[in-house]
Structure 1
Amino acid sequence: MVKPFIRNHQYNLIKKQVGLLQNACNTVSDPKVVESVRYSAQSKIIEAFPDTTELQKQTLEQIAALRTPGEFQNYLHSLEPYMAPFSELTGKQLNKLFPKIKKLKAPDLTAIDYRYVTYVGWVDIATNRLFLVYHLNGQFVGIEGRYTPTNKGVCFLCNRHEDVALFTAVSKSKPANASPDYYKAIGNYLCVNSDVCNKNITDVTALERFVQEVAGYHES
């Protein structure tokens, strides 16, 4: 049996490619164009899984045989048992991640379907703070920063045009010769609604770079 190996952002990428292929099958009359889209979709999906086993690869490559709306839907449904969920969080863990916040207003952790989560994020409107938790290198990392609402914009994590806020966090990274009062803030436009962002995100490169820079982690 194939063990869970598909993370949320990878599942979103698969859904995106399936949607493009299904649209081509429904609207394009030239078989060569459809096959080109099919090849592109399959290639991008396989590229998103550089460390797959042969059995996992065979599971993903079933997209090559899809033709009808029912087959596309069944393919996506068949992948759900292979989704690797985000590690479940507890209120105690959140308090450890944000020890300086005395009255942390956390989300309802029991209501989260962790299969469809790349990061856990929420806003405390009363304090204009935005919180983000990501699982990096085997451990939870908590980031908190100032939340400044804006209008529509492109989220730096999911690259979609959504309701965004300017999320500004103070970096813990310091140059070796930095003075004691060294200060560096990092700001990015981020989806106000993390549920929307988690449904859109197809790549974690920007997220991991941001978390590493703010948290003061350095890749070995």
Structure 2
Amino acid sequence: MSTPFIRNHHFNLIKNQANNLLNAIRTVADLRVVETVRSSVEATIVELFPEASEEQLKLLRAVITLETASDFQRYYASLEPFLTEFPRITKDQIVKLFPKNKKLSIPDLQSIDYRYVTYLSWVDVGSNKLFIVYERNGKFVGVEGRATPTNKKNYCFVCNKYEELALFSAVSKKRPANASPDYYKAVGNYLCADSRECNKKLTDVTALEGFLRAVLE
């Protein structure tokens, strides 16, 4: 039985690296350069999994054998059984993360393919609020804030891709000592208006986790 070990953002990075290799194969005439790219891609992928078993490393290192577009597609397909799912979360668990929202709108959790989810996010159109759920240190955390469409494309702070953005602004839970009762600090940044697309492109969780810390701690 396959033991999942590849997180969604790692899978995205593997595909990005493999696509770099495919592009080199297609466009670079010097075979020495192609082999250099091949070695670099292999090293970058392997470094993502310092605790990988020999069997897992063999699966990952198959990238160095690829030559055609069909080879690359088969490689991606071979990795999919090893994708770890975003932890399943229930409606009741989500409600507990956002206790002040008495009429919380929740997406259809049954329709989500959790293999391709790094963070769960949705917009409540009625309140114009955006909600993010993330698993951190074995526990779910939730952040909510105002979502303001920009109707413009730029770079998302989460996936760092050029996409249609929304300005997400959340109130930090951290309060300085002796703060006045009406004190608040907003933490804002631009992220993909479509979280599904963001999850497809996300290759590093550093920025996302930093934003969550800024809001929650």
Give percent identity, aligned residues only: 54
Residues paired across the two proteins, number? 215
Aligned to 1:113: 113
Shift of residue 90 of structure 1?
1.4
- Structure 1 position 153 matched with structure 2 position 185: no
Residues 159 and 122 of structure 1: is their aligned pair in 2 closer, same or farther, counting only changes over 3 Å? Answer: same
Aligned to 1:202: 203
Alignment of 1:1-220 (within 5 A): 3-150=3-150, 151-175=152-176, 177-181=177-181, 182-216=183-217
Q: Is the 8 A contact 2:172 2:186 kept in 1?
A: yes
Partner Cα distance (2:55, 2:209) in 1: 28
TM-score, normalised by the number of residues in structure 1: 0.93
One-letter amino acid matched to 2:39: Y
- Bigger drift between 51-60 and 93-102 goes to 51-60
Partner Cα distance (1:73, 1:135) in 2: 30
Superposition CA RMSD, Å = 1.4
Residues 60 and 93 of structure 1: is their aligned pair in 2 closer, same or farther, counting only changes over 3 Å? Answer: same
Q: Is the 8 A contact 2:172 2:184 kept in 1?
A: yes
- Bigger drift between 90-99 and 51-60 goes to 51-60
- Structure 2 portions without partners, runs of 5+: none
Q: Is the 8 A contact 1:152 1:163 kept in 2?
A: yes
Partner Cα distance (2:82, 2:92) in 1: 29
- Structure 1 portions without partners, runs of 5+: none
Q: Is the 8 A contact 1:2 1:55 kept in 2?
A: no
Shift of residue 135 of structure 1?
0.5
Residues 53 and 2 of structure 1: is their aligned pair in 2 closer, same or farther, counting only changes over 3 Å? Answer: farther
TM-score, normalised by the number of residues in structure 2: 0.94
